[in-house]
Amino acid sequence: MSLKGPVFCTSCGLRFPRNTELNKHNKRLHDKPRIPCPVPGCHSQFFSDNKKMYRHVRSAHTVYATNPKNNIPSDGGRCPFNGCEKRCTRRDNLMRHIREKHQHMSRGKGVLGSS
């Protein structure tokens, strides 16, 4: 069923041009558990799942994220190329760094072995 707009969210009253946008809104904001940022004093939005919350914490609160007692799983890491000291808190940023800075190097040369 596809209702033509406008349609309104029964939870928060927001208006949407089509039912498909309302459904996306409901899935993103109202249908999933709302997980807050665990960092005291952070007034960030709530997150729909732990993966999104962890990503926020690793990006916005690096000191908190790297403290083992806070149990925030790591996602990024150190660049594997010899001589490069770049560290990233997120895997997507590490992959982008490797593509942009080391695209000229082959995987077999200049890469550290796994430890």
- Three-class SS of residue 85? coil
Block residue for tokens 């990503």: 55
pTM of the model: 0.49
Averaged over successive runs of 10 residues, the pLDDT of the chain (115 residues) comes to 74 91 85 85 84 88 90 82 85 88 66 42
Instruction: Report yes or no: 33 and 53 within 8 Å, Cβ to Cβ.
Output: no
The residue ranges of every structural domain in the chain are 1-31, 34-73, 74-104
